[in-house]
Amino acid sequence: MPSRVVVGLQWGDEGKGRVIDSLAGEADIVVRYQGGANAGHTVWVDSKRYVFHLIPSGILHPETTCIMGGGMVVDLQALLDEIDGLNDRGINTQGHLFLSPRAHLVLPQHKGSEGLWEKRIGTTLKGIGPAYAQKYARLGVRVGDLYQEGLEEKLRLSLAEEDIQGLAQRLQEQGERIRPYIRDVEPLLNRALQEGKSLLFEGAQGTLLDIDQGTYPFVTSSHTTAGGACVGTGVGPTKIDEVIGVTKSYATRVGNGPFPTELGDELGELLQRDGEEYGATTGRPRRCGWLDLVALRYACQVNGVQRVALTKLDVLDRVPRIKLCVAYLYKGERIEEFPLSLDHCEPVYEELPGWENPTKGTRDFGKLPQKARDYIKRIVDYIGVKICWAFTGPRREDVVEMG
C-alpha cells in the first residue's frame, strides 16, 4: 500500500476531510501534520455530519490509527471537547488516536491576544499565529512539557500572565486527561513504514494559505503544502509515494486577501447557497468565485501533485455559463505564472457552456453530462495533472472514480 499526502490546492475547505475519509479505509494510519483547531474538515456518513478540527478525519474508520503530529499546535481544551463530542456519538478514540509530545500548545493567552489585535488577515481567532510565533521564537511550550519538571518556568519565559501557577495547574489537569493519547509518534510512524504499513497524511488549510508558498501575508502560520507532511511528522521525503491534491470545481476563500476570480454578484450568491459555503470552524460566509487555473497549476507544482480530486461538481449544475481563469492581466501584461502577489491581477477568462443538468449523486463517468466532462478535460489539459475523482455530493458514495 502506498503512503500518500492529501493536500488542499486552494484557500482551504476544498473537501479534504471527505477525501481523507474515502481513502482512510485503505490506510493503516492517518496523520495530521500541521495547523490546529483553525481547520474544519467535514465528513458525512449515513446522514450524520462530523466536523473535525484537530482529530484526523480518518477517525470514523475503527481499524485506522489516527495521529496528531508534532508539527501541529494544540489547544488542549478544544481537543478534549472534540474527543468528548465523538465519544458521546459512539465513536471510540481510545487506543486509536495519538498525539505527539512535540506538538506545541495553544495557550489561552494566544487566543486572547489574537482577539485583541487581529483585524488585518481575518483569522479564525484560534490562536494559531501567536502559538507558531512563539514556537519559532523558541519560547513555545510543548505537549511533552506538561509531564516534566519546570513547566512554570517555561510558561514564565513566554507569558506576561500574573497567575502562572494557576495556569500551569490547569494545563497539567488537562494534560492528565490527555495522557492516554500521548505517544512518541515519530518512531511509531517510521516503524510502521518499515513494516510495510501505509500512511495517509492529512493536510489542513490549503496551498495558497501556506506561510511560504501562499498569498502572504494573507496566509496561515504553518506549512500547509505536501512538504509539511515530512517536517511535521519526522518521516523522510523518500517514504512518500504519492501526493493527491484536492480542489473544488470553483473557488472559495474565507478571511481577507486578494481573490482575482471572486464573484460579487448573484452568481457568487448562487455558489454560496448551492455549495453551502459557510465556514465549518467559524460559520463565516465564504467568498466565492470561478476556478483559477493559474493558481491551481501553481499549487500542483509546489506540492508535486500526481492526482487531483475535484469536489463539488454538482454545485455548478445550475450555472448557465462557466468561466475558468487561464491568465492574469497585470499592468496590461498577460501573465500565466503565479506571481509574488495577486494584488492588481485581473483574471483573463475562458468561457464554457454549463451543463444545466443535475449531476448530484452521480457515480458513473458515463452518466456525467458531456459538458461536465468537457469542463473536467479543460482543467486537466491546463494543469497537466490527471483528475481521478469527481465528487458529486457530500455523502461518502457521491463520487465518480476515473482511475
User: Looking only at residues 205 through 234 of this chain, which bind ligand GDP when binding is defined by CB under 6 A?
Assistant: none
- How many positions of this chain bind ligand GDP (CB under 6 A)? 23
Give the span between the Cα atoms of 13 and 15, in whole angstroms. Answer: 5
Please check whether residue 295 is in contact with residue 338, taking contact to mean a CB–CB distance below 8 angstroms: yes
- What are the C-alpha distances in Å from 155 to residues 103, 108, 110? 15, 12, 12
Would you call 163 a catalytic residue per the annotation?
A: no
The residue with cell 457515480 is 363
Give the span between the Cα atoms of 219 and 132, in whole angstroms. Answer: 13
41 interacts with ligand GDP by CB under 6 A: yes
Contacting residue, 3, 22, 34, 38, with ligand IMO by CB under 6 A = 38
Of 273 and 334, the one with the shorter C-beta distance to ligand GDP is: 273
209 interacts with ligand IMO by CB under 6 A: yes
Q: 21, 28, 41, 314: which one is catalytic?
A: 41
Would you call 13 a catalytic residue per the annotation?
A: yes
Binding mask 238-277 for Mg ion (x = CB under 5 A): ----------------------------------------
130 interacts with ligand IMO by CB under 6 A: no
255 interacts with ligand IMO by CB under 6 A: yes
Please check whether residue 126 is in contact with residue 146, taking contact to mean a CB–CB distance below 8 angstroms: no
Of 204 and 305, the one with the shorter C-beta distance to ligand IMO is: 204
Q: How many CA atoms lie within 13 A of 291 on its CB side?
A: 31
- What are the C-alpha distances in Å from 224 to residues 185, 245, 330? 20, 12, 27
Of 292 and 314, the one with the shorter C-beta distance to ligand GDP is: 314
- CA-closest candidate to residue 142, choices 229, 90, 74: 74
Distance of closest approach, residue 223 Cβ to ligand IMO, in angstroms: 12
Residues 6+ apart with CB under 8 A from 93: 55, 59, 83, 86, 87, 181
18 interacts with ligand GDP by CB under 6 A: yes
Contacting residue, 69, 129, 140, 234, with ligand IMO by CB under 6 A = 129
Contacting residue, 4, 7, 13, 322, with ligand GDP by CB under 6 A = 13
Please check whether residue 97 is in contact with residue 181, taking contact to mean a CB–CB distance below 8 angstroms: yes
Contacting residue, 143, 155, 251, 254, with ligand IMO by CB under 6 A = 254
Residue 107 has what DSSP assignment? P
Catalytic machinery residues: 13, 41
Contact footprint for ligand GDP (CB under 6 A):
8, 12-18, 40-42, 44, 276, 280, 311-312, 314-315, 391-394, 398
